[in-house]
Amino acid sequence: MDSDDEMVEEAVEGHLDDDGLPHGFCTVTYSSTDRFEGNFVHGEKNGRGKFFFFDGSTLEGYYVDDALQGQGVYTYEDGGVLQGTYVDGELNGPAQEYDTDGRLIFKGQYKDNIRHGVCWIYYPDGGSLVGEVNEDGEMTGEKIAYVYPDERTALYGKFIDGEMIEGKLATLMSTEEGRPHFELMPGNSVYHFDKSTSSCISTNALLPDPYESERVYVAESLISSAGEGLFSKVAVGPNTVMSFYNGVRITHQEVDSRDWALNGNTLSLDEETVIDVPEPYNHVSKYCASLGHKANHSFTPNCIYDILSVIYTLKMMMTMSRKMKIKEDYKRSFRPGNSTQGLFLVFCSVPEVNQPVFQELFF
Identical fold, 1-112 and 117-193: yes
Q: Pairing state of beta strands 22-30 and 35-41? A: antiparallel
pLDDT per position as a tens digit, 277-299: 999 999 999 999 999 888 887 77
Higher pLDDT: 156 or 363? It is: 156
Half-sphere exposure for 98 (CA within 13 Å, toward CB): 11
CATH dotted code for 1-112: 2.20.110.10
Are the beta carbons of 322 and 289 closer than 8 angstroms? Answer: no
Residues facing 229 on adjacent strands: 219
The rounded distance, in Å, linking the Cα atoms of 200 and 100 is 36
Helix (H, G, I), strand (E, B) or coil at 259: coil
The rounded distance, in Å, linking the Cα atoms of 158 and 167 is 6
Q: The sheet that has 273-276: what strands, in order across it? A: 248-251, 273-276, 266-268
Q: Pairing state of beta strands 104-111 and 273-276? A: unpaired
The rounded distance, in Å, linking the Cα atoms of 273 and 92 is 42
pTM tops 0.75, yes or no = yes
Classify domain 117-193 by CATH architecture.
Answer: Single Sheet (2.20)
The rounded distance, in Å, linking the Cα atoms of 141 and 134 is 7
Average pLDDT, the chain: 84
Q: Pairing state of beta strands 35-41 and 345-348? A: unpaired
pLDDT per position as a tens digit, 23-52: 999 999 999 999 999 999 999 999 999 999
Domain ranges of the chain: 1-112, 117-193, 210-348
CATH superfamily to which 210-348 belongs:
SET domain (2.170.270.10)
Which whole number is the average pLDDT over 199-205?
94
Closest listed residue to residue 99, CA positions, set 126, 81, 83, 115: 81
